[in-house]
Structures are given as structure tokens and as C-alpha cells.
Structure 1
């Protein structure tokens, strides 16, 4: 879809990135910085600026740039924290005490990527996975809930997992 007349491709990319990712990115960064809205806004702005500066290097065939954006934002937060540690503090570091541990950051990124990949599945496959994996129902319980034969649910789960694995691999997630 072409943007407004006269906009460079990088400007169109920025508009698309902002429209699609700024809200989720702001919410993620806001948690990282302990609720400091001004700092979160600065980090999101810097993240999108870096995306704009690297527009020629970004993969236009990628399903989503959100994992890249989240990684850049996380690194900006970490770099900011490190630079404040290298000089006398400007303000009390109470907000930094709430910075999630590395495991929680990785878990958040993983969940965002899985959620994004789930949107690639058909509605029927997504329903089967939600009922069995996320709601913890057995195949029989899921079949009853969905009004389908158990064999159909089993088949949908099988094909949904295969499609989800492919969608995750497209996003750079590899399995051992």
C-alpha cells in the first residue's frame, strides 16, 4: 500500500512501525523502566529512530519486526542503566530496582513472539491449541467444548503445532 505522495520508503516504514508496534512497545518498556512514562517514551522514540536509521538493513520479508524492536528497546534500557552506573546518580534509582530479571525479559519476548506467530494460524487451528495447550483441556474435553469429534481436535492440534513451528522459524526462533 502506497503512503502519502512524496514520502520516502523510510518514512512509510516509520509510520507503519509506529502504527503497528508503538503501543505494545511502550507497554513493554514502561514495565522495564518501573513505570517512568517519560523514560519509556524516550526509549520507544529512540528505538523507532534506530529502526528508521537501519531501514535499509531491515528484512522486509520478515513477518514482524517486533522481536527486533523489543531487543533494541531492551538494549537501550540496559545501556541507559549502565551509563547511569558509570557516573554519579542524577536521581534515586528506585525505579531500576523494579527492572525485571533477565529470565523475565526473555520470557516476555518469547511470549510476544509466540502470540504474534499464533495470528498466522487458521482460526480452527488456533482454537484447538488454545483449548488444549493454553486452557489445559484434554483432547476429549476440548472436543466437547468445540463441538467436534476428538479425532478432528487431535488432527487440528497436530497441524497447528506444525504451522506454529514454521511461523516461529520464520521469526528466527529455532528449536533444538
Structure 2
């Protein structure tokens, strides 16, 4: 993940330099989900509110929290140089337009993802427009918009899963990856059937909320 570099045209906050703070991304392997510890929800909410208020430390915290995810999305769809550039552009654009972010209407990571998606699509369209000037460019290597969306959704789901409580995460994994019924999960985890259904419902709502905020 590239460091976010200030320029002379950027607000003074950038002159304090946001350095790279790479953190592992959650990845599903079969029925196992490999994750890193997540910050407490209250911490995430505090970052979002501070970002909306324009507090300088919030930009640094947002980049540390979400920079690796944004870079991964860019790198899965763009070459390395453009992925580095677009990652920086996303955070600079988000910070300059922070007055448009409302924590009450969506998550910060979802909003950043929406900006990233649009930037990626703009770059891919530009590549297609200029393809006739580059004989070595294979258009088949460029992702379609539906492929860009699919890649983004997979990354967002993995990130949303990482943020869920362990018990909720396990219920979802057992249901969707191991194909267990609600009753089988209840027996496996020694939980009441109603608790399993409630955990599954709340977890899926949280994931859906994150996905919807990324497509607004």
C-alpha cells in the first residue's frame, strides 16, 4: 500500500504526511476465514464522525484502517502504478469532499469504496479509449464493469466478515460454507435455535448495509 503523499495544492493537513500502515486483508479459504483482530465498533464510529468533522487525525486513522482494502481493490483491477496512484487519489478526493460524507447514512469504508469503484471504472474506460495507440495492450485483460463490481463485492464481504463478532461470523460460515441448517448449527455451537437465527439475521444485515453504502 503506497504512502499518501501531500502536494502543494492539497490542504495543510496533508503536510503532516500519512504513512503506509499495511494490515492483512481477510480471505476465505474453504470454510475457514483468516482475519486480523478488528478495532472495536466504537473506534470505527469515532473515526467516521471525526472524518466528517474534518479532524486531521481522522484522515490518518482512515488510511490506516481502510488503505489496504482500497489498494487491494485497485490492484485487483489496475496495474501496479495506477493502483498506487488511484489509492492516493481516493483518499485525497474523500478528504476534500468530506462534507458530503454522512456517518448516519452509511459507513466510511463503503463511501471510500464507492469513490474507488468510480475511479477504477474511469481508468479502465480511459484504457479502452486509448487502446488503439497501444499495440501491446490486450483489451481482454481489462475488467468489465460487472467484473469490477464482483471483485469489489467479494472484498467488501470479506471486510464486513472481519468486523463481525466471532460468534456471528462462525454462524455465517457454518451456514453458507459448511451448508449446515439452523438446527444443526444450534447443536454444533450449543446455542438456542432462536439465537442462531438472530445472529445470522443481524450479521447478514450488517453485511448488506456495508454493500449498499458502497454502491450509493
- Whether these two folds match at TM > 0.5 is yes
Tell me, yes or no, if the aligned pair for 1:29 and 1:40 is still in contact at 8 Å.
yes
Structure 1 runs of 4+ with >6 Å offset: none
Query: Does 2:96 correspond to 1:53?
Result: yes
- Of Structure 1 and Structure 2, the greater helix share is in 1
Q: Distance in 1 between matches of 2:156 and 2:121?
A: 21
The answer for unaligned runs of 5 or more in structure 2 is 1-42, 48-52
Query: Does 2:56 correspond to 1:11?
Result: yes
**1:51/1:64 CA distance change after superposition, 3 Å:** same
How far apart are 1:165 and its partner, in Å? Answer: 4.4
Q: Distance in 2 between matches of 1:89 and 1:13?
A: 42
The answer for unaligned runs of 5 or more in structure 1 is none
How far apart are 1:65 and its partner, in Å? Answer: 2.0
Partner of 1:159: 198
Partner of 2:23: none
Partner of 2:153: 110
- Equivalent of 2:125 in 63, 68, 82: 82
Q: Structure 1 length normalisation: TM-score?
A: 0.71
Q: Distance in 1 between matches of 2:56 and 2:140?
A: 37
Q: Distance in 2 between matches of 1:86 and 1:120?
A: 39
How far apart are 1:26 and its partner, in Å? Answer: 0.9
Q: Secondary structure at the match of 2:133?
A: coil
Q: Secondary structure at the match of 1:173?
A: helix
- Equivalent of 1:23 in 68, 72, 85: 68
Query: Does 2:180 correspond to 1:137?
Result: yes
- Larger of the two Rg values belongs to structure: 1
Q: Distance in 1 between matches of 2:195 and 2:127?
A: 51
1:41-95 per-residue CA deviation (whole Å, 9 max, x = no partner) reads 001011111101111111234663222222222222222233344455357324x
Q: Distance in 2 between matches of 1:73 and 1:167?
A: 21
